[in-house]
Chains A and B, each alone.
Chain A
Amino acid sequence: MSKVVEVSPTTRHEGHTKLVLRVNDEGIIERGDWLSLTPVRGIEKLAIGKSMHQAPKISSRVCGICPIAHTLAGIEAMEGSIGCEIPDDAYLLRIILQCANRVSSHALHNILSLPDMYLPGTDTHINPFTAEEPVRSVALRIQRLREIAQTAGEIVGGEPIHPSNPRVGGMYKNITPRAKSKLFDLAKEGSELAREHMEFMITVFKDWNNRPTASVASGYEVEKTERFGSHIQGYMATDPLYGSSNLDADPKWFPERWTEVRPWDWYMGEQEITLDDPNYPNHATTPAGNKAWPQMEACTAVPMYDGQPVEVGPRARLAMFRNYDMKGAMGLQIARQMEYTDCFYSMIEAIDAIDTSGSVLADEIPQGDGSLGWAANEAPRGTDVHLAKVKDGRVQWYSLLVPTTWNFPTCSRALEGAPWQLAEVIVRAYDPCVSCATHMMVVDEEKKVVAQKLIQ
């Protein structure tokens, strides 16, 4: 007979989420719901009536983890609406920012994932903060990769966290020859570190994959299942590195293929929790006898592409553009590591191609006629789609479809068949970033607004 267990809160990711899992007598998940508990972000409401220059700055503040992705997607959605092409050198600067953002995010995610993993050849969980070798060297390498990425982001973006240099129409400033030289040195150092690091991390994830048992961090060991974390949903990605917009000659994302359904129609109804485990790490299981009501508690709408949930992120990019085919939670983790070196090679190519005396601002910046524009930025965690309508320089409508919103339903499907004690390992493989994933508008299949969570 099925039982229901709730893991709340889930840890080592950004934002607040929980897992509601219906499991069989062996503790294997029959149905899993992973849902956001983070309050709504409100950007769609805040942006109405603002200038097209102001709105992307606002969206960069909805989350402290991915401001570069939101800045670029926001600006390019505005450019898509007004029909503004940017100079090549501005695009090259944005490529560097994109690479810096991805490296920084992937390196941060390594720290969050490592405690679930084992030092290869041992039964010892990895503590990324230990002073002991060989882990100490790995931790310092991760920190150096983050420093390199954030410094590159600062040089090109003007500000390292909330970049101020990108603007509608291009960039405020080009970089100097000296900055170009500095960026090249950083990227070269990074590319060497990245190869070494990628190989180490892939060894760690493969080691985990080959083990018959595993545990969450320092918890107790349980038997793993085959195809751990696999699902049969599709992938969605627009580019191996950067993204796509409606200004492309051959766009890679299609608004008409996107639908959004209410959490009420997708998540489980009210459940009584009938299984808990005081020995689970952090005492994170809710005591039996309590209630969970996923369809009421979930704070995100459920986006679909071609009528089904899709996976976005590193594996989706590699699967669609590089024929990558490794399934399961570790397949996703390994794909993420494979992007390190690509980022630095792309960064080096972009630095090399930049003309530091070239213009980085469009000659003319149209003010818009209310047409729909969209930009799908391949953020570290997956496709970050911003859609906008701009008229006379003002935002009439703005919407964000961010990576973790796409991944919530897909990851929920990927939980099925896994032992519930390892559900968090699957969730963490998706590198959830939840703050910006939580928005307020809910529409039905005809895209009519059927619910609205108002900010009080």
Chain B
Amino acid sequence: MLMQDWYAEYMIVGCGNTLQTDDGFGPAVISELKKLDLPENIKTLDAGLAGPHYLFTMMAQADITVKKMVILDIMDFGGRPGEITRVTPDLLAPGAYTDPHSWGLKEPLQVLAERTDIIIFGCQPESIDISQIDNEADDAEFWVTESVREAIPKAVHLALAEVGVDYGTTITSQRDLHRERGGRGQEA
């Protein structure tokens, strides 16, 4: 993909804080997606905690061509840990994506939904306590519980299906992310 512009026709965005166990679900799914070769019109983005102000408010204001944005996050909908639900912004409780700056766009996703098709895959968390981060694994960046970890491949399939990509039932990594990470400029 040509990473020359901030937006793409289809965006898959992972939200959450990796330091709070299952809240790292969204970024963990993005990490898996980045190992795949995807069409150039799809951009995957680990938004961490920055989705509202780095992305949603900008998309809502800018002249953009984003047709669809798929958001991956945890969501407490009373399911089993690791269960995934699909919702649209109109079903979200008020304040679900309130900008931390309280700058006026109280519900940036709802504003954005007027011009971009937004789908949210919410994963029921088991724990959002401070992560018990593994001291030994240098490469590990995500510390989700087993039940949520098992939901990651399914979330990858669901997100890709939303943007018209079918990787089949088995997805194999096409890159070693550790060696490939960074230097997006290689592709620019």
Contacts and interface: CB of A to CB of B under 8 A. Distances in A.
Interface of A: 11-15, 42, 46, 49-51, 53-54, 57-58, 61-65, 67, 108, 111-112, 115, 127-129, 139-140, 143-144, 146-147, 150-151, 154-167, 171-176, 178-180, 182-183, 455
A449 to B, nearest CB: 20
A392 to B, nearest CB: 13
B124 interface: no
B186 A139 contact: no
Interface residues of B, number: 41
Given A155-B188, A175-B186, A165 B181 contact: yes
Given A143-B58, A165-B184, A182-B188, 19 more contacts: A46-B130, A46-B133, A51-B138, A64-B49, A139-B61, A154-B184, A158-B182, A158-B183, A159-B46, A163-B182, A164-B181, A165-B181, A166-B182, A167-B182, A175-B185, A176-B185, A182-B4, A183-B185, A455-B130
A150 B54 contact: yes
Contacts of A179: 184-186, 188
B37 interface: no
14 contacts: A61-B17, A63-B49, A64-B48, A64-B49, A108-B101, A128-B104, A143-B58, A151-B6, A158-B182, A159-B45, A159-B182, A164-B181, A164-B182, A167-B182
Contacts, number: 146
Contact of A162 (B46, B100, B103): B46
Most interface-central of B46, B105, B184 (chain A CB within 10 A): B184
A112 B103 contact: yes
Contacts of B188: 155, 175-176, 178-179, 182
Given A160-B54, A172-B183, A61 B104 contact: no
A138 to B, nearest CB: 12
Greatest chain B CB density within 10 A among A42, A49, A139, A158 is at: A158
B42 to A, nearest CB: 15
Main secondary structure of the interface of B (DSSP, over half): loop
Contacts of B133: 46, 50, 54, 58
A174 B183 contact: yes
B183 A42 contact: no
A175 B17 contact: no
A49 B135 contact: yes
A51 B135 CA distance: 7
